[in-house]
Amino acid sequence: MVNRGIRGATTVNRNEEQEILRETVLLLREMVERNDIIAEDICSVWITMTTDLDATFPARAIREIEGWELVPLMCSTEIPVKGSLPKCIRLMVQVNTDKSQRDIRHVYLNEAQKLRPDLSESK
């Protein structure tokens, strides 16, 4: 097994706690499903949000998922680059896997699909 990074991003419409938590869980679940991974194989999850989101810590939502209580999580703010995508939540999931880099499925939902259209896939 090797350690691979799985990227994911999504956006919210409002800086509201429940929307941030809900979209974080939806994004993580999609990343897990597309890559057929389990929490035990996760090394850590790095979470960033744009500076216009401050209603809650998105890690709260992940900690409440059964089996994810012990996964190391870290939240931070995204670098505030002018013209960047607003209200964006990004995840970098580091996972132990036998998959090649090419086999990893990155996930971009909502307006975040604009960030990497080459990696965004429809379900």
Query: How remote is the C-alpha of 29 from its chain's centroid?
Result: 9
pLDDT of residue 118: 79
Give the tens place of pLDDT for each residue, 2-21.
999 999 999 999 999 999 99
CA–CA separation, 25 vs 86, rounded Å? 19
Q: CA 59 → CA 47, 81, 98, distances in Å?
A: 7, 23, 26
33 in active site: no
Give the tens place of pLDDT for each residue, 26-82.
999 999 999 999 999 999 999 999 999 999 999 999 999 999 999 999 999 999 999
pLDDT of residue 121: 64
Checking 96-99 for CB contacts under 8 A at 24+ apart, the result is 96/1, 96/2, 96/3, 96/41, 96/42, 96/43, 97/1, 97/2, 97/3, 97/4, 97/35, 97/37, 97/41, 98/1, 98/2, 99/4, 99/35
Q: Which domains does the chain have, with CATH numbers?
A: 2-114 (3.30.1330.40)
85 pLDDT tier (thresholds 50, 70, 90): very high
Residue of 7, 34, 60, 105 marked catalytic: 7
pLDDT of residue 119: 75
Residue of 14, 22, 29, 116 marked catalytic: 116
pTM comes to 0.93
